[in-house]
Structure 1
Amino acid sequence: MTQVLNIIGGGMAGSEAAWQAANMGVQVIIHEMRPRVATFAHRTGDLAEMVCSNSFRSDDDEQNAVGLLHWEMRAANGLIMQTADKHRLPAGGALAVDRDPFAASVTEALRAHPNITVQDAEITEIPKDGSWIIATGPLTSAGLGQAIATETGADALAFFDAIAPIIHHDSIDMSRAWMQSRYDKGETEAERTAYLNCPMDRETYDAFIDALLAADKTEFHEGETAGYFDGCLPIEVMAERGRETLRHGPMKPVGLTNPHQPDIKPWAVVQLRRDNALGTLYNIVGFQTKMKYGAQADVLRMIPGLENARFARLGGIHRNTFLNSPTLLDDQMRWRKHPHVRFAGQITGVEGYVESAAMGLLAGRLAASEILGQPMKTPPQDSAMGALIHHITGGAEAKTFQPMNVNFGLFRPVEGLKGGRRGRTDRYKAYTDRAKSAWQEWLTGAPA
């Protein structure tokens, strides 16, 4: 009897895992509880629905670790990257996509694959046999989350994540705002004008910070503790860390010139990025928030150019489940206690769409190769995926483990390179050259 690979969750990780395994000749069943069981953040029943930003971040595969991860996924025939490229939107040096057609295309590709079946069902218990990947992402259902917590003996498998607001473009005052990517970055005019910018002078910025700090915010339920991932902090939390934090973070004014007042340097700048191909929707970059809806609209309308903003979606906060992977998973992403079960995606303690999909890619290939009787080695640590999986399955300190984006700090040093800014450019290029070679070697040696 042919062994089937069962995947719980049809997000970025589950979708990519299914695609990889199915293309290796394994029969796959995706168990996705939506649309039968809704979540706080999802709007549809599509697979790989984007619930936060519509960006896969930097696409630079020579100077940026996430761009390198893009490159590795493309080299491995990754569905998520193929589909992202198909639905790409202008975003300077970033890879942003039209979120609804993106998810619809991923769903269509998976449902059309002869080796893939999609079942609309919620799984609430740990499977006792067979081959399984749990890729339930940041919104693992209460039943399955409790089952995992019971089995792991952990009672704190979560932190809190926030999503950013989306605004209708025709409600933005373009006599105050302008289109420009930071430092005019991009090869085409569309890329050089991919961001919409709203300037603030110092007085407006100070008033905005005051209102932000005073606004009504989402309260946690009794017994919940809020630990935030630093890469996706609510703007209120950043403001609480210091009044200047935002203008040195998502509101930094550098690399931009206001054509309405070219001789006046803004004190801070709020950037918005196109959220769909039509250009009718824009999301506020880096503005994840836990403000309550009424207060949120009032505060955000203090931003010059957004005084009459109409919101297609307000921001919000949700629970994000993850494991203490260094103590629970082996280097093949298998649960040590139940080795027939693998984990993939954000639940493993990676953060971001790209990292989640990358861990799905690996889990799918590793599980399929095991089913086929041709087990693979874990990817080499010098590749981006190898560095990431090494970090979450043993390289990180278990006592302080928190979700992590891919970054060059996870890579083994390249010896003999000079320091300083120029040295950093050379070092990053050395990391990416070495990673690409290691990844290609792993792919070539992997069973087909």
Structure 2
Amino acid sequence: MAKVLNIIGGGMAGSEAAWQAANMGVQVVIHEMRPKVGTFAHRTGHLAEMVCSNSFRSDDDEQNAVGLLHWEMRAAGGLIMEMADKHRLPAGGALAVDRDPFAEAVTAQLSEHPNITIQGSEITGLPDDGQWIIATGPLTSGALAEAIAAETGAEALAFFDAIAPIIYFDSIDMSKAWMQSRYDKGDTEEERTAYLNCPMDRDQYEAFIDALLAADKTEFKEGETAGYFDGCLPIEVMAERGRETLRHGPMKPVGLTNPHQPDIKAHAVVQLRRDNALGTLYNIVGFQTKMKYGAQKEVLRMIPGLENASFARLGGIHRNTFINSPTLLDGQMRLKSKPNLRFAGQITGVEGYVESAAMGLLAGRLAAAEILGGELDTPPNTTAMGALITHITGGAEAKTFQPMNVNFGLFPPVSGLKGGRRGRKDRYKAYTDRAKVDFSSWLGQRAAA
């Protein structure tokens, strides 16, 4: 009887892990509790549903670490990247995705694969037998989270994550807003006009900050001590760090010219990015929020152009769970105390859709190789995937371990290059050139029997 790989969770990591293992000839069962058991953030039962942003971030594979990760996943035949490319939306140099058709396409591909079975079931404990990948993501169900905490001997670490609002395009006042990507970035007119911009003068910005700071906000339950992930801070938290923080973050006015008032430089600009292929929905970029629903509508309608905004989805905040991977996982992503269990995705302490899918890709390949009687080396730490897995399985300091996006700081230096900001472009290009060679070599290796 063929050995089976069981995967708990059908998000980015679980979906990619299933695809990779199935394509290596392993029978895979995906256990996805949705839609029978819902979560705070999900709306459907589709696999790989995007719940926060619809962006995979920069697609530049020569100057950006996440763009390099895109390249590696494409080279490895990744399902998530293939479907993202097929359902791409204009977003300047970023890879934004039409979230519902994307999830539907991933679900269809996995459902139709002859080696994959999808079961609508919730797993509440840690299995003792068989090969399993736990890819339940940051919204792991309470029962399973308790089982993980009991096995690891410590409470799971956690942080708070926030979601940005989505607005109907036809409710935006285009006599005040305009379409333009920052610095007109993009190869086509569609790319150069991928973002919708709402300008503010100084008085409008100051009034907005006052309202933001005074707004009613969701309070955490007593005893909840988790912090925030710095890459996804609520706008209120940013504003509390200083009145100019937003103007140097998601509301920076640089690289934009208002065609309604071309001679007047905006003091701040709120950007919105297309959220679906039809262009009927736009999400507010960087505006994750913990404001209560009534306050959100009142404060966000202070933004010029959004005075009559109609909201398809309001923002919100939720608690995310992740494990202390440097302490708990071995170099093959296996739980040291129960080696039949691998962890993948955000629950391991990587942050972001792409990073989660990449760790799923590796976990799927590593588990499949073991089931087939061999062992697969992980990619070298000179690659984006290798740098991430090295970080979470021992490279990070366990005492201060926090969720991490892929970045060039995780890579070993390239010898012979001078440091400093003046050489950054050459340095990043050297990182990506080296990574592509090393990752291609890794792809060519076979699992050792």
- TM-score, length basis structure 1: 0.99
Query: The residue matched to 1:6 in structure 2 has which SS?
Result: strand
What are the within-5 Å matches in structure 2 for residues 80-95 of structure 1? 80-95=80-95
Whether contact under 8 Å (2:181, 2:194) holds in the other structure is yes
Counterpart of 2:214, as a letter, is: A
Give the CA deviation at 1:446: 3.1
2-side partners of 1:424 and 1:29: how far apart? Answer: 45
What are the within-5 Å matches in structure 2 for residues 176-195 of structure 1? 176-195=176-195
What are the within-5 Å matches in structure 2 for residues 103-252 of structure 1? 103-252=103-252
Query: The residue matched to 2:223 in structure 1 has which SS?
Result: coil
2-side partners of 1:438 and 1:226: how far apart? Answer: 38
| Partner of residue 320, structure 1 | 320
Kindly indicate whether residue 438 of structure 2 is the aligned counterpart of residue 435 of structure 1. Answer: no
Q: Deviations over 1:274-294 (max 9, x none)?
A: 000000000000000000000
| Partner of residue 445, structure 1 | 445
Whether contact under 8 Å (2:76, 2:443) holds in the other structure is yes
| Partner of residue 350, structure 2 | 350
Query: The residue matched to 1:82 in structure 2 has which SS?
Result: helix
Give the CA deviation at 1:418: 2.8
2-side partners of 1:248 and 1:33: how far apart? Answer: 41
2-side partners of 1:154 and 1:193: how far apart? Answer: 49
Whether contact under 8 Å (2:376, 2:446) holds in the other structure is yes
Counterpart of 1:283, as a letter, is: N
1-side partners of 2:170 and 2:288: how far apart? Answer: 22
Q: Deviations over 1:255-304 (max 9, x none)?
A: 11111111111111100000000000000000000000000110000011
2-side partners of 1:213 and 1:392: how far apart? Answer: 36
| Partner of residue 19, structure 1 | 19
Whether contact under 8 Å (2:326, 2:398) holds in the other structure is yes
2-side partners of 1:241 and 1:93: how far apart? Answer: 29
Give the CA deviation at 1:339: 0.5
Kindly indicate whether residue 418 of structure 2 is the aligned counterpart of residue 411 of structure 1. Answer: no
Whether contact under 8 Å (2:251, 2:268) holds in the other structure is yes
Give the CA deviation at 1:222: 1.3
What are the within-5 Å matches in structure 2 for residues 19-58 of structure 1? 19-58=19-58
| Partner of residue 364, structure 2 | 364
| Partner of residue 97, structure 1 | 97
Q: Deviations over 1:284-327 (max 9, x none)?
A: 00000000000011000001100000000000001101001000
| Partner of residue 60, structure 1 | 60
2-side partners of 1:189 and 1:398: how far apart? Answer: 47
2-side partners of 1:182 and 1:374: how far apart? Answer: 49
Structure 2: gaps of 5 or more residues: none
Query: The residue matched to 1:445 in structure 2 has which SS?
Result: coil
Kindly indicate whether residue 267 of structure 2 is the aligned counterpart of residue 267 of structure 1. Answer: yes
2-side partners of 1:447 and 1:105: how far apart? Answer: 30
Q: Deviations over 1:2-36 (max 9, x none)?
A: 11000000000000000000000000000000000
2-side partners of 1:207 and 1:156: how far apart? Answer: 40
2-side partners of 1:353 and 1:20: how far apart? Answer: 17
Give the CA deviation at 1:138: 1.1
- TM-score, length basis structure 2: 0.99
Query: The residue matched to 2:56 in structure 1 has which SS?
Result: strand
| Partner of residue 333, structure 1 | 333
| Partner of residue 292, structure 2 | 292
Query: The residue matched to 2:227 in structure 1 has which SS?
Result: coil
1-side partners of 2:80 and 2:253: how far apart? Answer: 33
Kindly indicate whether residue 88 of structure 2 is the aligned counterpart of residue 70 of structure 1. Answer: no
Root mean square deviation of aligned Cα: 0.9
Whether contact under 8 Å (1:14, 1:135) holds in the other structure is yes
1-side partners of 2:43 and 2:356: how far apart? Answer: 20
1-side partners of 2:137 and 2:52: how far apart? Answer: 13
Q: Deviations over 1:204-244 (max 9, x none)?
A: 11111111011011111111113000000000111111111
Whether contact under 8 Å (2:148, 2:156) holds in the other structure is no
2-side partners of 1:297 and 1:70: how far apart? Answer: 36
Query: The residue matched to 1:302 in structure 2 has which SS?
Result: coil
1-side partners of 2:123 and 2:244: how far apart? Answer: 45
1-side partners of 2:447 and 2:401: how far apart? Answer: 33
2-side partners of 1:221 and 1:179: how far apart? Answer: 41
Kindly indicate whether residue 436 of structure 2 is the aligned counterpart of residue 398 of structure 1. Answer: no
Give the CA deviation at 1:419: 3.6
Kindly indicate whether residue 280 of structure 2 is the aligned counterpart of residue 280 of structure 1. Answer: yes
Query: The residue matched to 2:220 in structure 1 has which SS?
Result: coil
Give the CA deviation at 1:154: 1.7
Counterpart of 1:318, as a letter, is: H
Give the number of aligned pairs. 448
Whether contact under 8 Å (2:145, 2:156) holds in the other structure is no
1-side partners of 2:293 and 2:151: how far apart? Answer: 37
Counterpart of 1:88, as a letter, is: R
Counterpart of 1:403, as a letter, is: P
2-side partners of 1:155 and 1:21: how far apart? Answer: 31
Segments ≥4 residues shifted beyond 3 Å: 419-422
2-side partners of 1:8 and 1:29: how far apart? Answer: 9
2-side partners of 1:345 and 1:156: how far apart? Answer: 15
2-side partners of 1:389 and 1:52: how far apart? Answer: 24
Counterpart of 1:350, as a letter, is: V
2-side partners of 1:11 and 1:149: how far apart? Answer: 21
Q: Deviations over 1:84-126 (max 9, x none)?
A: 0000000000000100000000000000000000000000001
Whether contact under 8 Å (1:149, 1:157) holds in the other structure is no
Moved more, 217-226 or 268-277: 217-226
Query: The residue matched to 2:255 in structure 1 has which SS?
Result: coil
Give the CA deviation at 1:155: 2.0
Give the CA deviation at 1:157: 2.2
